[in-house]
C-alpha cells in the first residue's frame, strides 16, 4: 500500500500518488510531465501560473476570532472572514487535493533562528509549487526531516480549484485565507506561487511581534568579518536589491528578516527575484543563480530555450526562486549580529528628498510607517507626472498588526543596539522627473559606503526645513553641492512649492495611521 503520510488525519483521501520532500530531479521529471513546465538553457525550470500572474491582495482574508480580533489591524489589508466561511474554503481545498493524481508534501522551516522558527508543511498538487517552496523554505537536514513531527502551520494550495464568490466575504473565485487559530493557509483560484511565500511572511508578521521580536520586509548583508550588519528597506524601484547585493559583503537575505535578542535572521532558505530585464552585467549574482534547481515563473523562452527577460507578453512580474546558496557570497546559516545601520530607500521623483539624511528615533518610525517612494511618468498607463506610493513599513500588504507596532519594535531594537537609521533618496535631483536628473548610482554607492564604513557619522549635519531631516554637508566621493536638494534646483521657489506639495502628501497619507501612533511620532512629519 502506498504511503499517504497520514493525510487522512487532515481529511484528505488520496486517489493517486503522494510525494514527500522529493529531490530536485524528481520535481523536474514530474513538473515537465504533469505541469507543462519547460527547461531553460541554463537548466532552470520554467513554469506558468495561468491567469493570475501576481498576488491577489483584494482576495486575502483573515479569520476573525476572539483570540485574534484585538490584535489584527482590520481594513483593506486584513479583511475578515468568519470561521464558517473559512471552513467552506478549507473543505473545497481538501476535496480538490483528494481528487488529484499527484499530491506533494513539502516540509521546511520558516526562520533560521531555531528559537524563533516555525515548522511549515505545504500540501499542493503542482510539482513546480512544491519545488518553489522547497527553494523558499529552509530545507531540513535528513535528521531534522526524520524528527520533523507535526508542523506548526499547514499550507493547503488548491489553486486550480475555485472558491465560491458567494461564500461569506469572499468576493471572487480567488481566495487566500489565513486562520491563526487553526494555523492554516488555504489558497483557491490562483496558481501564483508567491501566495505561499507571502502567506508565511504574513504569519511571521503576526507571531514574532507577539513575542516582542521585530519582523521586517528588508534585505540584509554584513561585512566579510561579520562585524557590521546592515538592513535595507525599500519598495520596488528604489534600488534595494542592487545596493544590498554587494560582492564585498555577505548576503544574509534578500527579503524577510526577524530581529531578536541575538541579532537578525532570515526567514527563508531562498531568494525570490524579479526577472524583468535581468542582465549579467546589471545583476551578475542573480544571473548566475538561474540554473538547475531554480524555478522561473512566467518567463518566456525563445526557440533555443534561452530566457528572454525583456519579454512581458505574459506579465512584467516575471519571477525566479532559487536557494540562497546559489548566491556566491551568501552567508549560511543566514543569521547575523545586531545591525549597525538601518537604511530606508526611496526613489523620490518629486526631486525633494535629500540624497541622504540621518533620522532620529521619531523620524525613523514616521518614515518607516510611511514607506514612501514614487511612480514616474510613463511607467504605467495614465501616469503623466510623479505619483507618490506609500506602503506601511515597506511591506503594507503583509502586515497583521497596526504599523506602529512594527515601527515601535524596530525603534526599540535600534536604540538598544545603537543602530543608526538613514534615509537615502535614489530618485531625482535638480528638479522633478522630466526636469531634473536621476541621482547617479555611483554617488548612491558612495553614500552607502560612507554609511557602512562609519565616515558619514563624522560629517557636519544641517537641518532640512520642510521634513526636519539632518543632511550631511560632506560625503566622500559625492559633490558637496548635491547633498542639499534645494541647492540643485535652478528655480528655488519651485523647489519650495514642490517640497510643500510632497509634505502635504505625506501628511495626508499618515492620517490613517495617526490614531494608533505616539505623540512624538505624529509630530515627526513634515513642517508644512
Query: Can the peptide bond before residue 333 be classed as cis, meaning omega within 30 degrees of 0?
Result: yes
Is 236 tagged catalytic? Answer: yes
- Looking at residue 369, its pLDDT comes to 98
- In a 10 Å sphere around its CB, with 0-12 CB exposed, 13-18 middle and 19+ buried, how is residue 427 labelled? buried
Of 202, 241, 370, 391, which residue is the catalytic one? 241
Residue showing cell 528572454: 308
Of 319, 331, 402, 405, which residue is the catalytic one? 319
pLDDT digits 0-9 by tens, 256-315: 999 999 999 999 999 999 999 999 998 899 999 999 999 999 999 999 999 999 999 999
Q: Which of 216, 215, 185, 181 lies closest to 200 in space, CA to CA?
A: 185
Is 217 tagged catalytic? Answer: yes
For the chain, the distance separating the N- and C-terminal CA atoms, rounded to the nearest angstrom, is: 73
Of 13, 23, 169, 236, which residue is the catalytic one? 236
Residue showing cell 535600534: 414
| Chain-centroid distance, C-alpha 179 | 21
pLDDT digits 0-9 by tens, 351-397: 999 999 999 999 999 999 999 999 875 444 455 577 899 999 999 99
Beta-sheet pairing, 175-179 with 219-223: unpaired
Q: Taking the CA of residue 224 as centre, how many other CA atoms within 13 Å lie in the half-sphere pointing to its CB?
A: 6
The boundaries of every CATH 3.90.228.20 domain in the chain are 341-522
Q: Which residues of 504-522 are buried (b: 16+ CB within 10 A; e: fewer)?
A: ebbeebbeebeebbeeebb
Task: Name the CATH superfamily, with its identifier, for domain 8-38+58-211.
Answer: Phosphoenolpyruvate Carboxykinase, domain 1 (3.40.449.10)
Q: Which of 57, 72, 75 lies closest to 402 in space, CA to CA?
A: 72
What is the torsion angle, in degrees rounded to the nearest 10, for the CA atoms of residue 93, residue 99, residue 105 and residue 111?
-10
Of 20, 119, 240, 331, which residue is the catalytic one? 240
- Looking at residue 236, its pLDDT comes to 85
**Cα–Cα distance measured from residue 219 to residue 240, given in angstroms and rounded to the nearest whole number:** 7
- In a 10 Å sphere around its CB, with 0-12 CB exposed, 13-18 middle and 19+ buried, how is residue 256 labelled? buried
Question: Is-contact 223 198, C-beta < 8 A?
Answer: no
Of 107, 179, 255, 260, which residue is the catalytic one? 255
**Cα–Cα distance measured from residue 148 to residue 6, given in angstroms and rounded to the nearest whole number:** 14
SS3 521: helix
- Looking at residue 86, its pLDDT comes to 98
Question: Is-contact 204 111, C-beta < 8 A?
Answer: yes
In sequence order, the β-bridge partners of residue 462 are 471
**Cα–Cα distance measured from residue 224 to residue 227, given in angstroms and rounded to the nearest whole number:** 8
Of 79, 154, 197, 217, which residue is the catalytic one? 217
pLDDT digits 0-9 by tens, 399-429: 999 999 999 999 999 999 999 999 999 999 9
What is the torsion angle, in degrees rounded to the nearest 10, for the CA atoms of residue 17, residue 23, residue 27 and residue 29?
-90
- Looking at residue 59, its pLDDT comes to 97
Is 255 tagged catalytic? Answer: yes
Alpha helices, DSSP H, located in 35-119: 83-99
Is 319 tagged catalytic? Answer: yes
Is 402 tagged catalytic? Answer: no
pTM, rounded to two decimals: 0.96
pLDDT tens per residue across all 528 residues of the chain: 478 999 999 999 999 999 999 999 999 999 999 999 999 999 999 999 999 999 999 999 999 999 999 999 999 999 999 999 999 999 999 999 999 999 999 999 999 999 999 999 999 999 999 999 999 999 999 999 999 999 999 999 999 999 999 999 999 999 999 999 999 999 999 999 999 999 999 999 999 999 999 999 999 999 999 999 999 999 988 989 888 888 899 999 999 999 999 999 999 999 999 999 999 998 899 999 999 999 999 999 999 999 999 999 999 999 999 999 999 999 999 999 999 999 999 999 999 999 999 999 999 999 999 999 998 754 444 555 778 999 999 999 999 999 999 999 999 999 999 999 999 999 999 999 999 999 999 999 999 999 999 999 999 999 999 999 999 999 999 999 999 999 999 999 999 999 999 999 999 999 999 999 999 999 999 987
The boundaries of every CATH 3.40.449.10 domain in the chain are 8-38+58-211
Q: Which of 317, 341, 115, 318 lies closest to 232 in space, CA to CA?
A: 341
**Cα–Cα distance measured from residue 423 to residue 355, given in angstroms and rounded to the nearest whole number:** 8
- Which cell numbers hold the place of 107? 516540509
Tell me which CATH code domain 341-522 carries: 3.90.228.20
Of 121, 154, 198, 331, which residue is the catalytic one? 198
- Looking at residue 245, its pLDDT comes to 83
- Which cell numbers hold the place of 199? 502567506
Run of H or E including 373: strand 372-375
Amino acid at each position: 500500500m502506498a504511503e499517504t503520510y497520514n493525510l487522512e488525519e487532515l481529511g484528505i483521501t488520496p486517489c493517486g500518488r503522494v510525494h514527500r520532500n522529493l529531490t530536485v530531479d524528481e520535481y523536474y521529471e514530474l513538473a515537465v510531465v504533469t505541469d507543462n513546465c519547460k527547461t531553460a538553457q541554463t537548466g532552470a525550470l520554467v513554469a506558468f501560473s495561468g491567469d493570475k500572474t501576481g498576488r491577489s491582495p483584494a482576495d486575502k482574508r483573515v479569520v476573525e476570532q476572539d483570540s485574534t480580533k484585538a490584535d489584527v489591524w482590520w481594513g483593506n489589508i486584513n479583511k475578515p472572514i468568519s470561521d464558517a466561511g473559512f471552513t467552506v474554503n478549507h473543505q473545497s481545498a481538501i476535496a480538490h487535493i483528494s481528487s488529484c493524481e499527484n499530491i506533494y508534501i513539502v516540509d521546511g522551516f520558516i526562520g533560521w533562528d531555531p528559537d524563533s522558527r516555525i515548522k511549515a508543511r505545504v500540501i499542493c498538487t503542482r510539482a513546480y509549487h512544491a519545488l518553489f517552496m522547497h527553494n523558499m523554505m529552509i530545507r531540513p537536514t535528513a535528521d531534522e526531516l526524520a524528527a520533523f513531527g507535526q508542523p506548526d502551520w499547514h499550507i493547503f494550495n488548491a489553486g486550480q480549484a475555485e472558491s465560491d464568490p458567494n461564500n461569506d466575504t469572499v468576493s471572487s473565485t480567488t481566495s487566500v485565507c489565513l486562520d491563526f487559530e487553526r494555523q492554516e493557509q488555504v489558497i483557491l483560484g490562483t496558481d501564483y506561487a508567491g501566495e505561499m511565500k507571502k502567506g508565511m511572511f504574513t504569519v511571521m508578521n503576526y507571531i514574532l511581534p507577539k513575542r516582542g521580536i521585530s519582523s521586517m520586509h528588508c534585505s540584509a548583508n554584513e561585512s566579510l568579518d561579520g562585524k557590521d550588519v546592515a538592513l535595507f528597506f525599500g519598495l520596488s524601484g528604489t534600488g534595494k536589491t542592487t545596493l544590498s547585493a554587494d560582492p564585498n559583503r555577505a548576503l544574509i537575505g534578500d527579503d524577510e528578516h526577524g530581529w531578536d535578542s541575538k541579532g537578525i535572521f532570515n526567514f527563508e532558505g531562498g531568494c525570490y527575484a524579479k526577472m524583468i530585464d535581468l542582465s549579467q552585467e546589471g545583476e551578475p549574482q542573480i544571473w548566475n543563480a538561474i540554473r538547475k534547481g531554480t524555478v522561473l515563473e512566467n518567463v518566456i523562452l525563445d526557440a533555443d530555450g534561452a530566457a528572454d527577460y525583456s519579454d512581458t507578453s505574459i506579465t512584467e512580474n516575471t519571477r525566479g526562486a532559487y536557494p540562497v546558496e546559489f548566491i556566491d557570497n551568501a552567508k549560511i546559516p543566514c543569521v547575523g549580529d545586531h545591525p549597525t545601520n538601518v537604511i530606508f530607500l526611496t526613489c523620490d521623483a518629486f526631486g525633494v528628498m535629500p540624497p541622504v539624511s540621518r533620522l532620529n528615533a521619531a523620524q525613523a518610525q514616521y518614515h518607516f510607517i510611511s514607506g514612501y517612494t514614487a511612480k514616474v511618468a510613463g511607467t504605467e498607463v495614465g501616469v503623466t507626472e510623479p505619483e507618490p506610493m506609500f506602503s506601511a513599513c515597506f511591506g503594507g500588504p503583509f502586515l497583521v498588526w497596526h504599523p506602529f507596532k512594527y515601527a515601535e519594535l524596530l525603534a526599540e531594537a535600534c536604540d538598544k543596539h545603537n543602530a543608526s537609521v538613514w534615509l537615502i533618496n535614489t530618485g531625482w535631483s535638480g528638479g522633478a522627473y522630466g526636469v531634473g536628473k536621476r541621482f547617479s548610482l555611483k554617488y548612491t554607492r558612495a553614500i552607502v559606503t560612507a554609511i557602512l564604513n562609519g565616515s558619514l557619522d563624522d560629517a557636519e549635519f544641517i537641518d532640512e526645513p520642510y521634513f526636519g531631516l539632518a543632511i550631511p554637508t560632506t560625503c566622500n566621493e559625492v559633490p558637496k553641492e548635491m547633498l542639499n536638494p534645494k541647492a540643485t534646483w535652478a528655480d528655488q521657489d519651485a523647489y519650495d512649492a514642490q517640497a510643500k506639495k510632497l509634505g502635504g502628501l505625506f501628511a495626508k497619507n499618515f492620517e490613517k495611521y495617526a490614531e494608533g501612533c505616539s505623540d512624538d511620532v505624529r509630530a515627526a512629519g513634515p513642517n508644512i
